[in-house]
Amino acid sequence: MPKALRVAVIGCGYFASFHLNAWRKLADVEIAAVCDLDEAKARAAAQKYGAARWFTDAACMLREARPDFVDIVTTMPSHRGLVSLCAADGLPVIVQKPFAPTYADCLAMVEACRVAGVPLMVHENFRFQPPLRRVREVLDTGVIGTPLWARISFRTGQDVKAPQPYLYDEERFIILDLGVHVFDVARFFLGEVDTVYARHRRIDPRIRGEDMATAMLGHANGATSIVDFTYESRKLPDLASQTLVSIEGTMGAVELGPDFRLAITSNGKLAVENSSKPLPIWRPPVHPAQDSVYHTQAHWLDSLRQGREPETSGRDNLRTFAIVEAAYESAASGQAVRPAQ
């Protein structure tokens, strides 16, 4: 039996409930402590999710609760300070996306953890959604041959700003908040990106940033992908948190359509399956993004126990973040941009 790992969670707001629910369900991990600047939130989370202790000061929690690792579920302006705190204490750390407001902050966190010799993972959960893992599996079998072209799409009109009101004030909104997930999925399927051409616009006049964007990515292996995402789609049925994928290769195609219908074409033959594998741990409706939180955290635990670098380590996430920066630069200049390497 592996020893149970003790997690300390920083941030007990909207999205932390998914993390805490998943930590509670995962085997061999216990919630040692939770922390929020808001005492009422910290106390309520400890009570609801069975944390032994609660705190309002992260440094104090790390000193007193002595966890095995830390899960940061605060919004991005606090990430650099909190990750540095964990690195200074020699504690492995998993931190929510977006990694940070700037690429320089991301680099600083990666460097702080490298110097301290502690593992760092970004909670980049989309690629851990079971239907997207299944697409990756299909690619790995080689049945569609070499991927040449893809479209990856996330379009909804769901009100994401109601539970996350801070999104109204983000100067850089949808590319950084949502595009970062979809770009990571593009890397997951087609590999590294060497050119980005993007356009974006603001539809909801109440926000500061942009809420609709499309990018064309040139992958280093010669493939091209179209990546599009919006929170202002009026199309019905609204597919809410579903990511749609279409990939064509030299021998066939794989398409993840609405409601997780997976169509695989290989050598002129079509096979169709349902790729949905919902976990029974959430209140209905089952949500693929919520499922992926569990799988992301399971991957982190596994990597920590095996001493392996996680798929979406801080170092790896620099490449996804560089695509975000390139997309903003491209949208501003009207030119294709090479992401930082």
Report the residue from 21, 74, 225, 275 that binds ligand NAD according to the rule CB under 6 A.
74
180-190 and 130-141 are packed helices; what angle lies between their axes, rounded to 10 degrees? 20
Give the containing element (helix H, strand E) for 84: helix 79-88
Angle CA(92)–CA(96)–CA(99) in degrees, nearest 5?
Answer: 95
Angle CA(107)–CA(340)–CA(331) in degrees, nearest 5?
Answer: 110
Q: Is the Cβ–Cβ distance between 325 and 340 less than 8 Å?
A: yes
Closest CA to 55 of 77, 28, 85, 87: 85
Number of H helices, E strands in the chain: 10, 14
Report the residue from 96, 156, 230, 265 that binds ligand NAD according to the rule CB under 6 A.
96
Residues 174-193 that bind ligand NAD (CB under 6 A): 177
Report the residue from 51, 73, 94, 247 that binds ligand NAD according to the rule CB under 6 A.
73
Contacts of 40 (CB under 8 A, 6+ apart): none
Report the residue from 5, 49, 100, 125 that binds ligand NAD according to the rule CB under 6 A.
125
For the CB of residue 54, give the shortest distance to ligand NAD in the complex, in Å: 11
Identify which of residues 41 and 315 has a Cβ nearer to ligand NAD in the complex: 41
For the CB of residue 144, give the shortest distance to ligand NAD in the complex, in Å: 28
For the CB of residue 262, give the shortest distance to ligand NAD in the complex, in Å: 22
Report the residue from 7, 8, 11, 239 that binds ligand NAD according to the rule CB under 6 A.
11
Q: Is the Cβ–Cβ distance between 66 and 5 less than 8 Å?
A: no
Stretch that binds ligand NAD, among 9-17, 26-34, 184-192, 257-265 (CB under 6 A): 9-17
Using CB under 6 A as the criterion, which residues of the chain lie in contact with ligand NAD when the complex forms? Answer: 10-16, 35-38, 41, 58, 73-76, 78, 82, 96-97, 123, 125, 164, 166, 177, 289
